[in-house]
Structure 1
Amino acid sequence: MGFSKKVKNLKESATLQAAAKAKALKNKGVDVLNLTIGEPDFSTPKSIQQAAIKSIEDGSSSFYTPATGLIELKKAIIERTRIDYGVEYQTNEVFIGNGAKYVLYALFQTLLNPGDEVIIPTPYWVSYSAQVELADGKNVFVETTQENHYRVTVEELEKARTDKTRILILNTPSNPTGTVYTAKELLEIGNWAVSNNIYIIADDIYAKLVYNGNVFTSIVSLSDAIKKQTIVVNGVSKAYAMTGWRIGYALCQSEIVSQVSKVISQSTSNPATVSQYAAIEALSGNQDIVESMRQTFEQRLNDIFPLIQAIPGVKVEKPQGAFYLYLNIKDTMAMCGYDNVTNWVNDLLEEAHVAVVTGEAFGTSHHVRISYATDMDTLTQAISQINKFIDSKRI
């Protein structure tokens, strides 16, 4: 049977693959401590559930909506963005899709021609590069350093820029590092993008999950010119514990929305109507639950970070946001006799029954990502088993 070259060359999402391996081992009766998946360990708040149920019972969710989403949801997104970012959008500058991941996919399909270049600072979320390839674009990776807190600079971006550069992806707070860019850094990057006519895709999915006095700044709030050059991507999955509902959205120029709508109408059509009604409640309802979850993540981070720092050989920056720790285990691997991080990760799962994600999935060769979106008992037990694994492997 023949398959397209795109599919044959495409790699499965490493985070989902790692989670699947952990689940397969668990199905065999092994007690696996799973630190792979980036989703809150909270149920969707009751008020959001009830809004969905109401839409089912009154028949509202029985029908198609416009391909780019309900006008009521677009208005809720615009109002939430006005409150959170201090920036105004119109309804023709918003589109809604089946999760932020699909929103990104639709954007790349819309904006890229074969050979167009997309600058991606490393480490990066696993699906960016694959989606660019699916759109026949070219990934241009710009390596950041732990010494600079995994932030890319304008000087580094300028070195990577060519006349084919079309898009810069900027994720703050970052998955996997938890880095949050300052307003000054964002202004410099934004002005650089404007002067070179490069779109910024601002992946703000973790915008509400920032800790220990750090502050999220939306790049679109810094100037009208930067706002015009930027496509904000966000969703309800992380901040509202709604990963399963699959609602993401983008805010951008109306000309982009009108073109993306063609892709959506010919691929998925509208996102599930019931999920859209749930998202309206999430964005326009009481926001106290968001702060409560944020505080829980912050406390977990502060509790486990000293334990992570104490793991032999590990070098790690304390995250400012999101819910991941990105561990440099180069020295740890050396003391255990490993020269390949994925082999280390696989053995950790098979022998210590702790599931983490290899840094190779994020574009680095000596790191692992740990999610702390799980309970403290699981986290502390996992760290204990990681330490025992390292002790057993010392050479």
Structure 2
Amino acid sequence: MPAARVSQRISAIAESATLAVDAKAKALKAAGRPVIGFGAGEPDFPTPGYIVQAAIDAASQPKYHRYSPAAGLPELKQAIADKTFRDSGYKAEASQVLVTNGGKQAVYNTFATLVDPGDEVIVPTPFWTTYPEAIRLAGGVPVEVFAGPEQEYLVTVEQLEAALTERTKILLFVSPSNPTGSVYSPEQVREIGLWAASKGLWVVTDEIYEHLTYDDVPFTSIATAVPELGDKVVILNGVAKTYAMTGWRVGWMIGPADVIKAATNLQSHATSNVSNIPQIAALAAVSGPLTAVDEMKVAFDRRRKAIVAGLNAIDGVECPTPKGAFYVYADVRGLLGKEFETENGTVRPQTSAELAALILDEVEVAVVPGEAFGPSGYLRLSYALGDDDLATGVARLQGFLGKAK
């Protein structure tokens, strides 16, 4: 029997569903189709001018045309440590920071560094698509703990306790959440963190949406709220969402010095240093004011309210109001199995994946099905797009889904 051309390890990776939906929407747009894309979690705002100018200035300096330390420019690492203390009260040294090629590399580096084959990682569900794939690539086992809309997509300590086994090593904690936009209260964060500490678990906390909360809901870093975790916590973050810098590809991980050193060794062989020009742009971002994100939040909040109201006006759709990030996670189980009339006859989607495909085909609106984030029966929509596109997209959904029988 001939050997497989692609390794089993890589063949087992699922494509990023969010990027796949976004790519398909962009391809259809390029072909002249009036597609409205709710797929990608990408602010529609430009990167602030002072950040762009810092990159332009850096590009003319020969010292940035050379290799730099694999862990990141020393001045950026210090600025990230300072910014983390400023924004969440967590004290870290520059030596505890690793600058990565976007948040995804921080996720991959972390699990590759902490996980041995067979180790279990508790993953509150719905989850961002990359988490379980990164865990599996490291040889770990993601253990999904699902919280539905009746819980506002927030897991409880009782659910976490039920998922605990002798092989559990890590709790993944994400607040504000992608894909649901849910935010844990300070009390919930503390309770979950104390539980993890009492079990001797590592906590990996993704805080990339820390500045995007609404309705006066505070962001609470589990690393700060639960000092009892000691040195068994790793913080993931980046500039992508706060500063509209998704394409610049600068993220980071903060953790114990030995873990960061090991992850740096990994990165030195994988990619080496992040491109110096985006690092200087990120330095300008994290060292500067939060004016840009404050301005974006006004627009995001307006869009959040509009999309929730528009989706909840559709029979069969239940959409909780998210408290953070820029996503809604709509419960569409009430539409599954219903009849939709199309040019090709009556269609009865049985899954949210089938429903999402039908929506794209029939009304040219791109959404991401729940299967990408956990159980079927849900749709994730990003409201980080223009107000006009949002209104048009919601109107198309209302017109089509409202005719379900």
Question: Do these two structures clear the TM 0.5 threshold for a shared fold by scoring above it?
Answer: yes
Residue 206 of structure 1: how far off its partner (Å): 0.5
Residue 59 of structure 1: how far off its partner (Å): 2.4
Distance 1:102 1:373 in 2: 23
Correspondence for 2:343: none
Q: Which residue, out of 152, 163, 166, partners 2:169?
A: 166
Q: How many residues align?
A: 394
Correspondence for 1:37: 40
Correspondence for 2:243: 240
Is the aligned partner of 1:194 residue 2:205? Answer: no
Q: How does 1:334-373 map to 2 (within 5 A)?
A: 334-336=337-339, 337-373=348-384
CA contact (8 A) 1:174 1:321 kept: yes
Amino acid of the structure 2 residue aligned with 1:173: P
Correspondence for 1:258: 261
Q: Which residue, out of 74, 83, 91, partners 2:94?
A: 91
Distance 1:309 1:340 in 2: 19
Correspondence for 2:50: 47
Is the aligned partner of 1:312 residue 2:323? Answer: no
Amino acid of the structure 2 residue aligned with 1:291: D
Q: Which residue, out of 129, 132, 138, partners 2:132?
A: 129
Is the aligned partner of 1:287 residue 2:294? Answer: no
Distance 1:304 1:386 in 2: 11
CA contact (8 A) 1:70 1:276 kept: yes
CA contact (8 A) 1:178 1:322 kept: yes
Is the aligned partner of 1:380 residue 2:391? Answer: yes
Distance 1:289-1:68 versus aligned 2 partners, 3 A rule = same
Q: Judge which range, 367-376 or 296-305, deviates more.
A: 296-305
CA contact (8 A) 2:352 2:370 kept: yes
User: Can you list the C-alpha shifts for 1:71-110, whole angstroms capped at 9, x where unaligned?
Assistant: 1001111111111112211111111100011111011111
User: Can you list the C-alpha shifts for 1:24-60, whole angstroms capped at 9, x where unaligned?
Assistant: 2223221101110001101110000011111111223
Distance 1:87 1:122 in 2: 26
Residue 227 of structure 1: how far off its partner (Å): 5.0
Distance 1:201 1:284 in 2: 25
User: Can you list the C-alpha shifts for 1:120-161, whole angstroms capped at 9, x where unaligned?
Assistant: 011000111111111111111111121111111111111111
Q: Which residue, out of 248, 263, 273, partners 2:276?
A: 273
Residue 304 of structure 1: how far off its partner (Å): 2.8
Distance 1:10 1:85 in 2: 34
SS in 2 for 1:326: strand
Distance 1:198 1:226 in 2: 8
Distance 2:310 2:226 in 1: 41
Q: Which residue, out of 21, 24, 37, partners 1:21?
A: 24
SS in 2 for 1:10: coil
Q: How does 1:210-229 map to 2 (within 5 A)?
A: 210-229=213-232
TM-score, normalised via structure 2 length? 0.95
Identity among equivalent pairs (%): 40
Q: How does 1:291-306 map to 2 (within 5 A)?
A: 291-306=294-309
Distance 2:319 2:398 in 1: 16
Is the aligned partner of 1:76 residue 2:87? Answer: no
Distance 1:216-1:227 versus aligned 2 partners, 3 A rule = farther
Residue 195 of structure 1: how far off its partner (Å): 1.5
